[in-house]
Each structure stands twice: as C-alpha cells, then as structure tokens.
Amino acid sequence: MVAGNGLLLYPILGFASCVAFIYLSLGDLRSQFQQPSMGFVERNGTQFIVDGKAFYVNGWNSYWLMYQAVEEFSRPRVRTMLRAGAKMGLTVCRTWAFTDGTHHALQISPGQFDNHVFKALDRVIAEARRHGVRLILSLVNNLQSMGGKSQYVKWAWEEGVGLSSSNDSFFFDPSIRKYFKNYLKAILTRKNTITGIEYRDDPTIFAWELMNEPRCTSDPSGDTLQDWIEEMAKFVKLIDKNHLLTVGLEGFYGPTTPGKLSSNPGEWVNSIGCDFIRNSKIPEIDFTSVHVYPDLWIAEPELEDQLKFIHKWMSSHIRDGDRELNKPVLFAEFGLSNENKNFQPSHRDTFYKAIFDIIYKSAKENRSGAGAMIWQFMVGGMDEFNDDYGIVPWERPSMYRLITEQSCRLAALRQGHDQSKGRWRELC
C-alpha cells in the first residue's frame, strides 16, 4: 500500500500515487482478464502440436472444478488446484463441463441452463488460462454421477417423448439426440462473461470430449455407439473448427478387431458396445482416449499383475496409434485405488512411474503415446469428492517429485524449448 502512505505525506505526491494506485489496480485487472497468449493445440499425425512443436501431456483430472466454483466458500479450491498443477509443470487438466439435472445443475432441464453455474465454468476457464493450464472438457457422463445419460432419458420420459426406458436410449432416441445437440450448441457458443471469448474460440480449451467412458451394452455389435459418435462428432465440428475432439473411451477393443480382443482386460468388455479402433477411426475424432484401471478391470490383481497389464495395454494402444490410426493416443485417466488388497502409498509411486516411463519412451521415439493424466487430484478438505483414487499431490513428497520430473523431461523433449524460462526455471 505504497500509494496510501504517499497520500498521507504530500497532497501532490498523493494525487500521483492515487493515479498510480488506480493504474496498478487496472493493471491488476488487466492481467486477470488479458490472459497470457496461448495458441490452439493442433495435431500432426500422431503428435499434438503447440506453437509448431510436438507437445506431450503430463496432466491430471479434477472433475469437480465447475461444481466447486459455483459457491463462494468453495471457489478458492479451483485456484489452489490450478496454481498447484501449474507449479508442478502440469499443462492439461481434464474436468467436467456438465451437471445435468442434479445439484448445481448447469443444465436444469433440456435446453434450460443456469447462468450462475455457467459463470462458474467461465471462471474455471479464465483461471486455467491465468495459470497457463489447458482444459479437456468432457460433455456428458455415461455414469450416473452429476446426471449423465440416465438423466437425459429421464427427461425424455417426463416430457412424454421417450422411446425406451433403457438408459442406452440416450444413444439412439432421436429426441434425446436433439437434447444433447442443444446442449452442445449452448456450450460451444457460450461467451465467457469474464474473458469475453466464446468457448469455441478459446485456446485454453485443449479439446472437447464427447462423453466420459461411453458404453452401450444393449448393442454389443457396437453400431449404436458408433452411429452416435459419428453424428455428434460431425455436429461439434460444424460449430467449432478450432478445437480437437476425442470420444472419451476407456480403450476396449470390439467386434471389428477380433485379433485384439485378447488384449482386453477380460471377456466381459468384448461385448459392451465399444470398439476402440472403429470408434477412433472416425475422421472428426482427432485423437484417441484410453483409461488405465487394472484394479477395476481384473479380479484381485497383485501389483505385479497390474504392472504387466499396464505394459501390455499401453503398448497395444500406442501401436494402434502408430500403425492403424495415425492419431495421438492420450491416456486420459489412470489411477490406483487405495482399496486394493495390501495397498501401500508407495504402490502408487511404482504404478505412476511405470506409466510415466512408457509415455516418456514413446515421446522420445516420436511415437503416438501423447501423454497421461492422473485420476485424480483434490485439495485438502474435499473428502466427499474423493473416490478411492484421489490424492492431494503435495502431501507426499516422493509422488510430488515423480510428477514434476515427468513434467520436466517431457518439456525437455520439445525442441528448442527454453527451460530457463518462466515456470520451468524454478521447476527443472
């Protein structure tokens, strides 16, 4: 408060200081609203490109950002998380851009949006930009959490237009497809009330993700899900040609690639309506998404079994990216549950490191493994938002170090990247 002291000493100086103070305040505001410059993420074959150079993702998931930004008491968590992520050299965060029909609903009912919640999402995007973090925004949930496809089906029933009570009618019911397109249009053309930038024009958004973990068990042929992805992907690209688009798949192989079914974690996923290669080949889908959850997918696995699975699962998908798809492969969620038998926190270090090493090796060889994102980070005091995968990353120094080392070695691969600049100088 130098300006305040000046005011007390000399009126003239005081006036100057006062002007300076106002100017500084404006400067402060400007730095808040005029965010650091940022280019759109692009793709060249199997690689993400930022500013003309290959870009590898060390990232994380915090699905709760918009939700927590709604109310004043919880809003600071968003800044704390994004600031901490940036400080660890993490460059991309994946988060939900939906709450359908539930508490703090962005979409209250089909086509009806709560502007107060939309402002919360505005805040999340502006805050991410401020910290130089890009966002992957997921657009609906296959699961029931925060609404999801079953909420859309419920709406259709309430409005008397539902064709089927199956929750998979989300994918095939024409009225529900219309609901979802209305939501897509609303979000893509939303003008951020803080930055003034329409979402579709905002490079802070790394990519859109159609759905979190889509599955359509009612049609094991995979045709229904394929058709839905094709239609929605075209629709997104019609409105937004700037951003990359992914599906949000877990990565399970399906009927069109019988030779790959043995790489699936179990026979039960061969017939849940997903088909990784077929779904990912759709031209409007710019990159593939794969999740890594051996502890959910394999019965009672030991850590050793999990590590073996990681290698097989990730290598198989990186090979797909290189040979069949010519697209980047992003491991958009991975994590280890603390409910595992004999779980110890050090298991997470081992598990994360195995994944980081595979990504680093792929990146070094210019292959399609484009990055990995931890599920999930929280800040302290958020137990009700934790599942058994959540961590507060700064609470375990060994984990913190592991993550920042990955940030640094991936950043170093960017040719001509200046590690003496900005955040990298302190970190690496």
Ligand X SMILES: *[C@@H]1O[C@H](CO)[C@@H](O)[C@H](O)[C@H]1NC(C)=O
Three-class secondary structure of residue 20 per DSSP: helix
The structure tokens 């759709």 sit at 282
Single out the catalytic residue among 71, 213, 304, 384.
213
Q: What are phi and psi of 326, to 5 degrees?
A: 50, 45
CB of 57 to ligand X, least distance (A): 17
The structure tokens 């950002």 sit at 65
Assigned token pair, 188: 């893509």
Q: Smallest Cα–Cα separation from 51: which of 383, 393, 337, 421? A: 421
The alpha-helical segments, DSSP class H, found in 113-188 are 115-130, 148-158, 169-172, 174-188
Active site residue 230: no
Is the Cβ of residue 214 or residue 251 nearer to ligand X in the bound state? Answer: 214
CB of 366 to ligand X, least distance (A): 4
CB of 409 to ligand X, least distance (A): 15
The structure tokens 């409007």 sit at 284
Q: What's 261's DSSP letter?
A: G
Active site residue 333: yes
Cβ atoms within 10 Å, residue 162: 18
Three-class secondary structure of residue 251 per DSSP: coil
Burial category of 281 from C-beta neighbours within 10 Å (exposed 0-12, middle 13-18, buried 19 and up): middle
Length of the chain: 428
Is the Cβ of residue 49 or residue 298 nearer to ligand X in the bound state? Answer: 49
Is the Cβ of residue 301 or residue 328 nearer to ligand X in the bound state? Answer: 328
Rounded to 5°, the CA angle 240-43-118 comes to 35
Residues near ligand X (CB under 6 A): 44-45, 49, 144, 150, 165-167, 365-366, 415
CB of 98 to ligand X, least distance (A): 16
Q: Smallest Cα–Cα separation from 67: which of 170, 149, 133, 141? A: 141
Phi-psi region of 71 (alpha: psi -120 to 50; beta: other; left: phi over 0): beta
Single out the catalytic residue among 127, 209, 250, 333.
333
CB of 153 to ligand X, least distance (A): 6
CB of 101 to ligand X, least distance (A): 11
Residues recognised as catalytic: 213, 333
